[in-house]
Amino acid sequence: MIDYKKVETAQKLLEESGAQFVLAYDKGDKHCSCRANGQYPTIKKFIITVMWQVVENVYSQCGVTMASSEVFSMTSAVLERLKAKEEDEQQ
């Protein structure tokens, strides 16, 4: 079981430290929480590093075609959210 109080404490400590970070965790019920703190270029670098770590595992087990498919799938999911946000704001 996840101790959400400890997650909140970790987030608070990271913020107080002044460190740039990305913190993401499973909240259950198919929901995730993510907190990013820092300048855009650093946050972008963090996200690319995480994507690489995930896709590198797929690559080692399934090859470049499947790994590439996963990268496109992640990117498409972000683009879908962006499109939905734009549509909501236009209404």
Alpha-carbon span 54 to 38, nearest angstrom: 22
At 88, is the pLDDT very low, low, confident or very high (cuts 50, 70, 90)? Answer: very high
Query: Could you read off the pLDDT of 32-81 as tens digits, one per residue?
Result: 999 999 999 999 999 999 999 999 999 999 999 999 999 999 999 999 99
The structural domains of the chain, with segments of one domain joined by +, span: 1-38, 39-91
Phi, psi values for residue 32, rounded to 5°: -125, 155
Residue 1: the pLDDT is 80
